[in-house]
Structure 1
Amino acid sequence: MKLQSMLLGALALSLLQPAALAKDKREYTDGFPLGECDFASVGENQYFPLQPGREAHFNNLQCVAEGECAEVEELVIRVLNDTRDVTLTINGEATTVTTRIVEEVETVDGQLAEISRNFFAECGATQDVYYFGEEVDIYQAGVVVSHEGEWLAGTGAALPGIIMSGGAFLLGARYFQEVAPGVAMDRAEHIAADLSSEVAGGAMEGWVEVEESTELDKKSRSSKIYCPGAGLVVDDDLELTFVLEP
């Protein structure tokens, strides 16, 4: 069964739930116990591995072949050897967290579209992976034209969010991934678990699905699928093709 069919099936099941869920008013968690974390820039979260030297490649060739995508998109995610210190106030004290830099390079029809450098660290107590900010370069015709979406925890009102929770994957969990008011307010909801399918990179078992949205655009929705050990395997139309392990 194709992945998209399985996703539609999962969505159909959700539509069978009581109508009240269509007007679900549950809040997204935006406050986290940062003071309880011993942060590390290398982590073992099964869905979001922070291992320097790891490189994951994605493309949307399947979508293009099916005639549903007009442009060829490619994405390379590299966990760099580089780190960045981020200073913010935790429990009333200035605290510096050493974060891992994860670089994402996106191209459209072979032309560079965006490079982002994202700052993550894992909480040792929970294996939650926290998101501390990103630098963004958006390109047109080989020239940087914007830094839209750039933010950093500790600057202005920005605080860390959780990019991927640790421990058990709890269906229905809702939390902010970015807490930068007016700039970046992405949030996540766990909507499916313990499923299997096949992507260009091979068969995947035990995958979980996260629906992402943003408080800045209530109509915006995207879907990401993660597999234990493999991490991200589907990002909307992009599918994992191969991974280079360190």
Structure 2
Amino acid sequence: MSLRTVTVMRYIVPLREGGSLPALVEADDGFKYVLKFRGAGHGVKMLISELMSGQIASRLGLQLPELVFAYLDDDFGKSEGDEEIQDLLKASEGLNLGMHFLSGALPYEPSVKIDPLLASKIVWFDAFTTNVDRTVKNPNLLLWHRELWLIDNGDSFYFHHSWKDFEKHALSPFSYSKDHVLLPQATMLDEADAFAHAVLSDDFFGEIVRLIPDDWLHWKGTSASPDEIREVYFAFLKTRFAHSSTFVNAAKNDR
């Protein structure tokens, strides 16, 4: 398991609809990316959420733009005129996370009908990763080339913002499923759960946590080493997966 690494060459425009102030940038491979900054909002924890969620979504066969590690040079923001953006760029020097820009993609509308198994897989995925932000108000879904694509998974794994009681969070039924934009169409949650158990595994979760860069695992307020932090993420994934019936049954009741 690996991600490509690109170097950001040009800052194009801020995407201010995102609370973390992502931006459209161009990298040295000639492609455009939506860049999530380590210096914004929830910092590297948001990047970790995007990274881990992205790997899980891909293994489940869900469509999401390619993720890349995106390096921001020390001098990158010095020519930026906007002070807020300049401060963000300065605080984000080093390794960030980019998501391939889907040019021409359209926002998903709840009135659009999709395959019930696909809807069920997405509801399962968001309940598993505890993603609180896939609502009617903010679906974080795009339609591109007649396919449904997932974006903005940074609000998942929210237990890591307090970094305590991970076992409690791992065993939670996830009450936010009732607000999920696709829940009305998710009529095959048992089938989605069976599929997930056929393609995900503890070994896979181990690969995911090893993919997190050490650079993102030096946190203020904790003396835990990067490997110790990885172990907590792994334990969360392993425990939640083993008890998936808890959040699946809760989602079925919410339907």
TM-score (norm 1): 0.25
Give the structure with the higher percent helix. Answer: 2
Give the structure with the higher percent strand. Answer: 1
TM-score (norm 2): 0.24
